[in-house]
Structure 1
Amino acid sequence: MVGNNPSIFQGEGYDFIELREYMPGDDIRHIDWNITAKLQKPYIKIFREERELNVVVASMLNGSVYFGSKRFKQDVIAEIVAMLSFSTIKNGDLLSSYIFTDRMESHLKPSKKLFSVHKNVEEIVNFEALNHKADYKVLADTLFTRLKRKSLVIVVGDFFEIPDFKLLAKKHEVVAVVVRDILEEKPPKMGFASLIDPESGNVLEGDFNDATVASYAKKVTEHDRELYATFRKHHVRFTKVYTHESAGVALRRLFEGR
């Protein structure tokens, strides 16, 4: 945890903001008993001094995350989601979790319970990512439509496609965590080999010599330049985590540098 919140949102004093329906884990001392009695449902008061965040962690689990020279990217994504989620719960904020491929695979409603973290991480670890494609437009459109309250949205994936978070970032604060394996960016010379596309299952055969590998690495570099330029253009903060590195260090740098 860095400061009070891993967000640029700021609180302003102790002014009353709104009433909202009670959720498991909320402080019962903030229940408005008059409104609760009238509506026959428990409601709590939200004050600016609490600066309660609605944190949304979205994981993109397409086939390419089923890869890793040290650890699978899918496992690293699960670790990152766990750290972000436990930090959210510890800070007393509301946590929502999503899993996407080319559709919304699962969704856990806003909660302050540790059970929601355990369930989401277990779903990520056990998810059959092979033969699933990524569609960041589906992710962005779904979150834009479903999230009514201004939120801190953290998207975790390998981002081998350029997402358009322009509208989502205007409505919410968006953070991207790019998870990669070093061999994806700097592959070794393999000679003649057969590779399988983890999204489509198609087999690619060829001679992966020095020239081929260098050409591939150049394309990845160009892709990432465009990716980072797009993030900056849309005011999306981002960091990259490799499978052989400490995810905690990268996340700390990301939120300290706000």
Structure 2
Amino acid sequence: METSELLKKVRKIEIKTKGLSRHLFAGEYHSAFKGRGMSFSEVRDYQYGDDVRNIDWNVTARTGDPHVKIFEEERELTVMLLIDISPSSFFGTVNQLKSEMITEICAVLAFSAINNNDKVGVAFFSDHVERFIPPKKGKQHILRIIRELINFEPSGKGTDIGATLEYFNNLVKKRSICFIISDFLSMGYEQPLRVAARRHDVIGVNLIDPREEELPNVGLLRAQDAESGALQWIDTSSRQVREAYANWHQEHLGYFSSTFRKSGAAAMNIRTNESYVDALHQFFQQRR
């Protein structure tokens, strides 16, 4: 993409999403996430009424007197965006491509974070982690993320959420708010998700195109798998074919919902023919 065209796209997304994050989501983001994390502050003598679960047994054994650990709310949080840039994200049949909506959602979340003085980091993934951008603050950092989202060309052809979560678990040790933004058309990520959810505040954002839920009856259709590149003819006039297609999507949707629920992580579905603003607004409201 030409530099001038890229800058125009970045500027357009900045104007739209920065306004949303400042006027619509600023207070809701703060209410949803601020104060959820606790960081170690100091050790002091045990006092009557202190929670015995906070006793520091090492210091107590060393001094001979009971001591407790004191924690305080984290004033600065880290937001991690794990962003699916696999070929299936470049699909869309209604208002916009999934990749375009992903870019806007990430921009809204990132601007909301820096408005609250939080750091934002990113991992772009396909069937492997394509690029990692360490957490930082500032507008220029967010604009770099947006530029990468618009212009990055993945080398991988598939999607591996499990491998991405393992990478994240090994790299990010400090508690963070982790948004996984994908179409979740892969499975097999139960274990790394459970590990991530024990340590971090994990939210899955599932992007769905209406044509992925229901195959239209348009006769014989030649289709190409976005990730494998395989071509095949599909008889969409067959009710059996349409039902099998719908069942396949429901299986993945059910796996996504149940896996996140069992792990203790949050999950939300956003359809490309609906407003992601309304979906995010409802999500933030539920967490207040």
Give the Å deviation of 1:130.
8.4
SS in 2 for 1:6: helix
Verify the 8 A CA contact 2:88 2:227 in the aligned structure 1. yes
What does the per-residue CA deviation read over 1:81-111, in whole Å, with 9 as the maximum and x for residues that have no partner?
A: 0000000000111111111111111122211
Q: Supply the distance in 1 between the matched residues of 2:99 and 2:92 (Cα, whole angstroms).
A: 9
Distance 1:206 1:3, change over 3 A: closer
Q: Distance in 1 between matches of 2:122 and 2:37?
A: 24
Matches within 5 A, 1:95-244: 95-129=120-154, 132-162=157-187, 163-164=189-190, 165-211=193-239, 212-244=241-273
Question: Bigger radius of gyration, 1 or 2?
Answer: 2
In the alignment, the residues of structure 2 paired with residue 8 and residue 236 of structure 1 have an alpha-carbon distance, to the nearest angstrom, of: 17
Q: In the alignment, residue 198 of structure 1 is paired with which amino acid?
A: A
Partner of 1:64: 88
TM-score normalised over the length of structure 1 = 0.82
Aligned to 1:94: 119
2:36 aligned partner, one-letter code: Q
Could you tell me whether the CA contact under 8 Å between 1:108 and 1:116 is conserved in 2? no
The SS at the match of 1:257 is helix
Which consecutive segments of 4 or more residues in structure 1 shift more than 4 A? none
User: What 5-or-longer segments of structure 1 have no aligned partner?
Assistant: 19-46
Give the aligned partner of residue 7 of structure 1. Answer: 33
What residue is the counterpart of 1:17 in the other structure?
Answer: 41
After superposition, the Cα gap between the structure-2 partners of 1:11 and 1:105, relative to the gap in structure 1 and judged at 3 Å, is closer
- Specify whether residues 197 and 3 from structure 1 end up closer, same or farther in structure 2 by C-alpha distance, changes over 3 A only: closer
Is 1:75 aligned to 2:100, yes or no? yes
Conserved? CA contact 1:5–1:91, under 8 Å: no
Q: Quick one: distance in 2 between partners of 1:168 and 1:49?
A: 20
The gaps in structure 2 that reach 5 residues or longer are 1-24, 43-70
Measured on the aligned residues, the alpha-carbon RMSD in Å equals: 2.2
Supply the distance in 1 between the matched residues of 2:36 and 2:113 (Cα, whole angstroms).
16
Identify which of 238, 251, 275 aligns with 1:246.
275
1:59-80 superposed Cα distances (whole Å, 9 cap, x missing partner) = 0111111110121101110011
Q: Which amino acid aligns with 1:113?
A: G
Mapping of 1:31-50 within 5 angstroms? 48=72
Q: Secondary structure at the match of 1:81?
A: helix
SS of 2:32's partner is coil
Amino acid at match of 2:152: F
**TM-superposed deviation, 1:196:** 0.5
Tell me if the contact between 1:64 and 1:130 (Cα under 8 Å) persists in the aligned partners.
no
**Percent of aligned pairs sharing the same letter:** 29
Instruction: Output the CA distance in 2 between the equivalents of 1:120 and 1:3.
Output: 20
Structure number having the greater helix percentage: 2
Name the amino acid aligned to 2:108. Answer: M
Separation in structure 1 between the aligned mates of residue 238 and residue 219 of structure 2, nearest angstrom? 9
In the alignment, which of 82, 85, 90 is matched to residue 110 of structure 2?
85
Q: Which amino acid aligns with 2:164?
A: L
Letter of the 1:60 partner, please give it. Answer: D
Contact kept, 8 Å, 2:127 with 2:156, in 1: the verdict is no
Native 8 Å contact 1:11 1:50 kept in 2: yes
Deviation at 1:206, TM superposition (A): 2.6
Matched AA of 2:220? F
User: CA distance change for structure 1 residues 16 and 176 in 2, over 3 Å: closer, same or farther?
Assistant: closer
Structure 1 residues 200 and 246, CA, compared in 2 at 3 Å: closer, same or farther? same
